[in-house]
Every structure is written in structure tokens, then in C-alpha cells.
Structure 1
Amino acid sequence: MKLLWTGILMTGLTAGLGINAHAAVTKAPFGKLPDGKAVEIYTLKSATVEARVMTFGARIVSVRTPDRAGHVADVVLGYENIEGYLADKKTYFGAIVGRYGNRIAGGKFSLDGKSYQVPTNDHGNSLHGGTSGFDQKLWTAKEVSNGVEMTLVSPDEDMGFPGTLTTHVTYTLVGNALHIDYVSTSDKDTVLNLTNHSYFNLNGDGASDILSHSITIDSEHFTPVDATLITTGNMDTVAGTPMDFRQPHTMGERINSDFAQLKLGGGYDHNWILNGPNGVIKRAAFVLDATTGRTLTVTTTEPGVQFYTGNFLDGSFKGKNGISYGKRTGFCLETQHYPDSPNHPGFPSTELKPGQIAKSTTIFTFGVQK
């Protein structure tokens, strides 16, 4: 399969984002891992937005942004200290997930005629890189202009994946836009699908559900799943189904519909195929919380986005301010290649070969609708 990672075309989409706005960057300790290694947290602050990113899992810890009345609140679910993140092996709050984000059927795939088996950790499938993925790794960090660059070297056979993979994930804050740039290389043929797994709640309290948020997804098709949430390989039209977000609908409007795909996922937990070519920056989704006026626009070079409505949050973990995050109190928009792509030659390729550079960009732009 031909590798479809490409360069990035930014024309026209940085207009109005305050491209020359400088973000202040500061660093502080954020506790230690059980082996004694120190975790650092970087704060990126512009005139309108503050984002914090830590080295454990290269995670977004918080994003503070104003509502229409100017009230600033944190719109990302998570924990106040490293202990919370260490205790939680289920949610992937804010993390970079990999080496293969989303699912691989049975944890099996083939490259160059050789079969590979990686750990299974979700209904017999591999989810987000296996039992100890990139979310559980301590990344190294260095300050860059307007942000921080996180680096991880994943050794050959890490979680069963071939090749030593070197990944740089750079977070930069440009006005009200948080850019995430991914760059990876490998010394052997491997598969790669990286994304950020932040949960957003534009209410800013983390306690209310997100069902009244309205969302638009720029997509004509989605990839349906089976009972284990593995894609079937089909690319179904959204037309005439509750998966159609070409016009805005609230997240809760049709979430409990008598529709097989929603029953399988307990709500929305699917990959949408984005309009426009792979490798070119384009809008994936737009979200509005009408109560506060806060908005989130997601643009990306990736071919797909996983829209997830926090169906498996169950209140078992207490987050910031002691809040128990219950079902559907956060939503994710995970820009990505399609799930289980290594087993579907008709999907955009996730193979990365020596000498190639895998690049992608995703931008979370925060705004206010009056």
C-alpha cells in the first residue's frame, strides 16, 4: 500500500487566529512517577487562552477559555495532580495515544508478508496501542516558540510493533488556536496512527453532560462497527441516519435512537470520513455550547475523526474539584486515520517506512458566539 502521509497546506485557515500573537511559556514540576522520574507541566498562555500540557503521556491537562460573559473556565476533563492520571488506566484523558490510536482487530496485522500480534485490551482487540501505549510513557520536552515540543522514542517491538519509532508532538498556542503538530520516523516498516484524546465540556464545569452541545461534522460517510466496535470495512452514507451532522444537531438529540450503530457504541463512538483530501488542512467539526456561547472548531490534515460522547464514563474517577465524571460529561474529537486500517487495504494507509516522514496537524480553535 502506498503511504498517504503528506505535507500540510495551511492557506486561508490561519486568517483571524491572531497568527502573530505571542504565547508566554512557563515550566513547573507536576509530581513524580512511581520510579521517581519527574513529570513536568508546561503552561502556554495567550491573551485569550491558557493551555497546560504535561510530559506524562504528552497530555493536555487543561484549557482555560472565556464564555460570552468573559468568565474563564477549564473546558477539558482531567485531574489536578499526577496521582489522578496514574490511577486512571481507562479514560486516556488528554493523552497522545499510540503507537496505533483507536482499534486493531484481534491485535493482528501483517507487513511485508510478516504477521504481528500486539496486546489486546478491549473486547479481544487492541485499543490505543495496547496495554502500555504512548499515554503511559514519559516524554521528554523542550520549549519552543509559543509552545513545547514533546519527544518519545518507542523501541523496536514496543508493545509488539516493529521498528524504533521516533515521534515529536509540538503544541503551540497561536491566539485562540492550539496547534498540535505530529512528526514521526521509523527504522523499520511499521504502522502508525497518533491522535490526542482530550475530552471537552464547553460548559466549563465538568459536571454537566454535553448532550445540549450542538455539533457539525463535515462528512458524508462514516465507518460502521461490529459488536466489538471494530470497523466492518464499509463506508456508509450518513444521509437519513442519526450519524448525519452535516447540519448542526445537539449531541443528545438522536443519541438514544433506535439505530443499530448507536446501540453498539452506547452512543456516538465512530469514525467519520472527512470531506477533502488527506494531508490538506480542512475543517472536521464545529461545536457550540449555547448556554455559555463557547465554541470549538477542529481543523486537521487527517482523513478521519472519531466522535465519542463519553459513553463509558461512569463516575468511578473523581477529577478536578472532586467532580465525578459521569456518563456523557465529555466529548472527544480524535482526528485520525481510520480504525483497523492495517487490515483494510481500501482505507488510507497507515504504513510508515524507513526514510519516510509521517506528518500531520490538528488545530483546536476556541471561540465565543454572542
Structure 2
Amino acid sequence: MTQPVEDFITLDGADGLKAVFSPAGAQLVALYIPTKSGGPVQTVIGSSGRLDAPEGDSWAGAICGRYANRIAGASFSLDGVTYHLPANEGSKQLHGGADGFGHLSWKAEKAGNEVVFRLDSPDGDMGYPGALEVKAAYGLNGHTLYLEMTATTTKPTVVNLTHHVYWNLLGKGDILGHMMQIPASRYTPVNADLIPVGPLADVAGTRFDFREKRPIAGPYDHNFALDAGRGALHLGARAIEPVTGRTLEVWTTEPGMQLYTGEHFTPAIKAPFSELLKNAGFALEPQTFPNAPNEPSYPSSVLRPGETYRHRIEWRFSGF
């Protein structure tokens, strides 16, 4: 069923940020930031805020799970049991499957300066073991938008939640001239199916070296192994729009950062709050690594009963 627009929820921050959300995929639909000239700019690209709608990008602005990114062969083994998942990108599963979390309606409530979304995923949902209870709380604090995601399970399972918002700090045109900085000395090389192959590779001397800021240029759909690893909140990426100086920092508690440059966007994809063209927005998706359930050397995505999965993302804006 198409998500009604009247279900949209708005947060107005004290320092000029305004965010619009939808229960469809717990989606960030729009984010307005103040500018030096006084008028706000809408920086979120491609989000429709609706389920089963013809307009918008199906993942834009949504929370992806149970397992964001790709799982090779749409299967994994855990504790000696092999789990087969429905594939939705060739032979792979992407972002939790066709009915992954980004394509479901979440329960929503506005509580003070936060919008809280909840989702119950039953045992066996999209092939994954364990009943999962998920909570996602968005809030505004000064010039920061944050998202705190938690999950618990009834059986051993794998969990990798991320947020798939596309940004354009100018609010129009393409993002290839945005300056990008990612504090990662290594990345995960991929094959033609975008599945990681072999060990982590050094970025030095390659087009994957964003340790110093430089234009995005593109194309990218790759995971970077952040030097800080998993743990305390740390800088995952910094993007700067060179004409205006508007800056976005993405902070995370996870070890990986997927950069995607919106290669599939075309003017035929309509969205209520933005216009699209190729490379109209960049996605920075903090997460564990693609295909980690099948790669023992990667940071673990296993969640067991009695444990709580926690992932915090902060989007910090400056240069107004």
C-alpha cells in the first residue's frame, strides 16, 4: 500500500535545521539547512517518503536491514547452520531483500525533540533467524542530525543496519565536484558483482585514496575500512561543497563506510522534495563490511540473544 504523505513527521531544530521523516522505511525525506544568504536549502536527494510509490529511489533516505549492502550467493552459515536468503540483485541479496527494512512501514512516534521508529521482524523474515526488535531514534541537536539504532534478537543472527540517504550540499546539479575526505587507509576491492574479493587493499596510489580531501569525480560503489574501526563515535567521512563551503561530517560507531555516487539516477526518477539527474547525490553508508557473514576476517555482524546491537550516526553540518 502506498504510504500517505500525511504521515510525514517534521522536526524543527533551534538552530535552523528542519527534518522531514516518513514511516516508510523509517525514511529521512528531506533536510533543510540554513545558508549564508538566509534561505534554507533542501539537501536530501531522491527520497519519496512512500512505500510502493512510482516516484523516488526505493532505498533513498531509508534504514536498510537486516543486512545492509550485499551478501554473496544470498546465503551464509552461522553456528554450523546455512541460511538461504531470497536474492534480489542477481544471485545476491542486497539491503535485506525485496522486503527488507527499507521497504516496510515502521511504527512512529514523536517524543520531544526526537522521532522514534520501531519495527518487529519475525523469526525467518527474509530468511534470517531470530525475531528482531529494532528501534531507531532521530533527533536534532544544534547543527547535527543524529540517528541511534538498536536491535535485540531471540536467536543468533546477523545484523548490519545503515542509513541510505543521498546528499547534495548545493541542493541541485551533480555532486562530482564535491570535495570528499574518508579517513581510511584500506578498502575492500570488489568483483563485477560488487562482492568483496581477496584481502583489504591499500588505498595509496589508487583512486580510492580520500585521506586528503579531493573531488569525488566518481563513479564509486565501494566500502572503505575506516582507520578508527568499530567502537567509540568517530569521523567516517567529510564532504565539502566548494562553491558555498557547506560541509557535512558523517560520524559513526561502525568500521566501514560505503560511498556510492548515484550512477542510476535519471530525470525519470521523480521525488517530491528533489530533482534527479545522474550523480545528483552521494550516499555515505556507515556499516560493517559487505558480505561479512561469509568473510571471517571482516568485523563480525553476529548478534546473539542477550546482546544489544547499537549503531549511532551523526550528520554534522557547518559552513553556513
Partner of 2:188: 223
Query: For residue 178 of structure 1, what is the amino acid of its counterpart?
Result: L
Once residues 79 and 346 of structure 1 are traced to their aligned partners in structure 2, the CA distance between those partners, rounded to angstroms, is 35
Q: Secondary structure at the match of 1:291?
A: coil
Partner of 2:29: 61
Query: For residue 330 of structure 1, what is the amino acid of its counterpart?
Result: G
TM-superposed deviation, 1:119: 1.2
> TM-score w.r.t. structure 1 length?
0.82
CA displacement, residues 168-221 of structure 1 (integer Å, 9 cap, x when unaligned): 01101101101110110000011110000000011113xx01011001101100
Alignment size in residue pairs: 319
Partner of 1:200: 167
Once residues 233 and 354 of structure 1 are traced to their aligned partners in structure 2, the CA distance between those partners, rounded to angstroms, is 31
Query: For residue 282 of structure 1, what is the amino acid of its counterpart?
Result: H
Query: For residue 346 of structure 1, what is the amino acid of its counterpart?
Result: S
TM-superposed deviation, 1:297: 0.6
Pairing of 1:355-366 with structure 2 (within 5 A): 355-366=306-317
Partner of 1:300: 252
TM-superposed deviation, 1:81: 6.1
Query: For residue 186 of structure 1, what is the amino acid of its counterpart?
Result: T
TM-superposed deviation, 1:358: 0.6
Query: For residue 43 of structure 2, what is the amino acid of its counterpart?
Result: V
Structure 2 residue runs of 5 or longer lacking an equivalent are none
Once residues 309 and 230 of structure 1 are traced to their aligned partners in structure 2, the CA distance between those partners, rounded to angstroms, is 17
Partner of 1:309: 261
Partner of 1:44: 11
CA RMSD of aligned residues (A): 1.9
CA displacement, residues 310-361 of structure 1 (integer Å, 9 cap, x when unaligned): 11223331123673x2211110000000000000001110011111101110
Query: For residue 338 of structure 1, what is the amino acid of its counterpart?
Result: F
Q: Percent identity?
A: 39
The answer to whether structure 1 residue 350 and structure 2 residue 313 are counterparts is no
Pairing of 1:152-191 with structure 2 (within 5 A): 152-191=119-158
Partner of 1:116: 83
Once residues 341 and 88 of structure 1 are traced to their aligned partners in structure 2, the CA distance between those partners, rounded to angstroms, is 32
The answer to whether structure 1 residue 92 and structure 2 residue 43 are counterparts is no
Q: Secondary structure at the match of 1:129?
A: coil
Partner of 2:175: 210
Is 1:105–1:126's contact at 8 Å kept on the other side of the alignment?
yes
2:226 to 265, 271, 274: 274
Partner of 2:74: 107
Once residues 139 and 10 of structure 2 are traced to their aligned partners in structure 1, the CA distance between those partners, rounded to angstroms, is 10
Once residues 282 and 145 of structure 1 are traced to their aligned partners in structure 2, the CA distance between those partners, rounded to angstroms, is 26
Is 2:169–2:247's contact at 8 Å kept on the other side of the alignment?
yes
Partner of 1:77: 45
Once residues 154 and 75 of structure 2 are traced to their aligned partners in structure 1, the CA distance between those partners, rounded to angstroms, is 21
Q: CA, structure 1 residues 38+354, in 2 after alignment: closer, same or farther (shift >3 Å)?
A: farther
Q: CA, structure 1 residues 229+293, in 2 after alignment: closer, same or farther (shift >3 Å)?
A: same
Q: CA, structure 1 residues 49+89, in 2 after alignment: closer, same or farther (shift >3 Å)?
A: closer
> TM-score w.r.t. structure 2 length?
0.95
Once residues 134 and 158 of structure 1 are traced to their aligned partners in structure 2, the CA distance between those partners, rounded to angstroms, is 10
Structure 1 residue runs of 5 or longer lacking an equivalent are 1-32, 256-266
CA displacement, residues 240-294 of structure 1 (integer Å, 9 cap, x when unaligned): 0010001011111xx3xxxxxxxxxxx1110001111412111011111012221
The answer to whether structure 1 residue 327 and structure 2 residue 295 are counterparts is no
